[in-house]
Amino acid sequence: MNRTTQAVRSRWNWTRNWQLHVMMIPAVILIFVFAYLPMGGIVMAFQDFKPWLGIGGSPWVGWDNFDKLFGQQDSVQVLWNTVVISVMKIVAGLIAPFVFALLLNEVRKMAFKRFVQTLVYLPHFLSWVILGGILIDMLSVDGGIVNRLLTGALGIRPIFFLGDGNWFRATVVVSHVWKEFGFGTIVFLATLAGINPSLYEAAVVDGANRWKQTLHITVPAMMPITIVLATLALGGILNAGFDQIFNLYNSMVYEKGDIVDTFVYRTALIQGNMGFGTAVGLFKSFIGMFLIVASYRMAYVWGNYRIF
């Protein structure tokens, strides 16, 4: 009996595996054409790229472009700023929608739930160009609504949100979370929708209250997707949000607010130095690759979970 099952199973694998490979074909081809073919352009990182000479004809400069990145006086500071802002964003950007999804999950009135959901994802659609302007108004030291509330309610001195390095970082992280948490909730809501209700029924039979149910059923069920999201976010750790910083920063917060991308923008992109841009991109890719592989291994070894 057991042996027949075994035999049947292996025949399955044998006869049906080809179907799985066939299903992969379209994506494999598209990725090859649109992702792998252009990767040849990575060689630009080692060139002084001139558009009229093309990738084939531009002069080779070895590691010059990388030297430029690390040779600048304050590039260490810029890298550090990027990592600090990025890590804070990743952490806060995961916790906020996670918690919000849990809270929303407790709402029993469907209409209210939908109402809230629709409203919180609105900021996602506003570009930083727009939001930058609005934020600068709202956070203004004299007359900005936030400072008016703070001085009125707490009686403290107005805070120079965009003019003080530490406050600037906080402002960047909070405004990022505010913009994206609603939209980020959607993935978690889909996960919540997928939890088998019979698990809760069983818990109720065991006498677990709502808090215990959340702790022992809901949260564990959301963990895998959270880890996946965190891992994928790590791949972009050196992307601290160019659009946002660029529209908010100013000379007063260069020291703590200047990130790799704004730095590259000022150094190279206005001059059209594609080679330097590619070199920075490649550097970012390797850091991201390292972090992703590391977290993939950790999740597999410690959690026995395959992230992808």
Partner 1 sequence: MKRKALWMSAASALTLAMLVSGCSGGGGNNGNDGQSSGPSGGTAAASSGASAAGDELPQTDGKFSPEATLTTVRAVGDDVKFKNGETIEDNVFTRWAKERLGIDIKYLWTTPSTNDAFKTKLTLSMSANEPLPDILEVSGADAHALIDSGKFQDAGALFDKYASDSYKKAMDEVPSAWMPYVRDGKRMAIPGIDYIMQHDDVMWIRQDWLDKLNLKAPTTIAELEQVMDAFVNRDPDGNGKKDTYGMISTLKENYNAWIGTGEIFGAFGAVPQIWEKDDNGDVVYGSVRPEIKTALGKLKEWIDKGYLHKEVALQDEMKASELFTSGKAGIAFGPTWLYDWPLQDVVKNVPGSVVKPYPLPAGPDGKIGQASEGTHNLVMLINKDMKHPEIYFKYINYLYDHYNDPEAGGEFEYGFAKGYDYDIIGDKPVFGADIPGGYIDPAKYFLGIPPRTPSIFIKTLADINEGKEPVTPYEKKLAQASTKQQMAAASIVVSQHQFTLDNLYTGAQTETMKDKWQNLKKMEITAFTKILYGNAGLDSFDDFVKNWYAAGGEKITQEVRDWYASVGGQ
Partner 2 sequence: MFYKSTGYRVFSAFNTAILLLLSIACVLPMIHILAVAFSGKAAANANLVNFWPVDFTTEAFRKTFDNRNFVRSLGISVYRTVLGTAIFLGLLLITSYPLSKEPHAFKGRTLYIWYFVITMLFSGGLVPSYILIVKLGLNNTIWALVLPGAVDVFSLILMLNFFRNIPKELEEASLIDGASHFVTLLRVYLPLSLPAIATLSLFTMVGHWNSWFDGMIYNTNGKNFPLATLLQTIIVQQDFSKITMNPKDLADISNRTVKAAQIFIGALPILLVYPFLQKYFVKGVILGAVKE
Residues 159-188 that bind partner 1 (CB under 8 A): 162-163
- Looking at residue 121, its amino acid is Y
Nearer to partner 1, 48 or 298 (CB): 48
Give, as ranges, the residues between 204 and 233 that touch partner 2 (CB under 8 A). 204, 209-210, 213, 224-225, 228, 232
Give, as ranges, the residues between 52 and 91 that touch partner 2 (CB under 8 A). 55
From candidates 4, 109, 110, 142, binder to partner 1 by CB under 8 A: 142
208 φ/ψ angles, rounded to the nearest 5 degrees: -75, 135
- The SS3 assignment for 60 reads strand
Residue 126, interface with partner 2 (CB under 8 A)?
yes
**Cα(134)–Cα(108) distance, rounded to whole angstroms?**
34
- Partner that binds at residue 209, options partner 1, partner 2, none, CB closer than 5 to 8 Å by kind: partner 2
Give, as ranges, the residues between 12 and 51 that touch partner 1 (CB under 8 A). 32, 36-41, 43, 50-51
CB-side neighbour CA atoms (13 Å) of 80: 7
- Of 110, 92, 111, 109, nearest to 233 by C-alpha is 92
Helices assigned H by DSSP within the chain: 2-31, 54-57, 64-71, 75-105, 110-120, 128-138, 145-154, 165-193, 197-205, 210-213, 219-234, 242-248, 254-257, 260-267, 274-303
Conformational region of residue 144, where left means phi above 0, alpha means psi within -120 to 50, and beta covers everything else: beta
Give, as ranges, the residues between 256 and 285 that touch partner 2 (CB under 8 A). 274, 277-278, 281-282, 285
47 in Cβ contact with 59 (< 8 Å): yes
Residue 267, interface with partner 1 (CB under 8 A)?
yes
Stretch that binds partner 1, among 65-73, 115-123, 215-223, 291-299 (CB under 8 A): 65-73
Stretch that binds partner 1, among 174-182, 237-245, 267-275, 296-304 (CB under 8 A): 267-275
From candidates 53, 112, 272, 300, binder to partner 2 by CB under 8 A: 112
User: Nearest approach, Cβ of 216 to partner 2 (angstroms)?
Assistant: 14
Characterize 29-38 residue by residue with b for buried, 16 or more Cβ atoms within 10 angstroms of its Cβ, and e for exposed. Answer: eeeeeeeeee
Q: Which residues bind partner 1 (CB under 8 A)?
A: 32, 36-41, 43, 50-58, 68, 72-74, 136, 140-143, 162-163, 250-252, 254-255, 258, 266-267, 269-272, 274
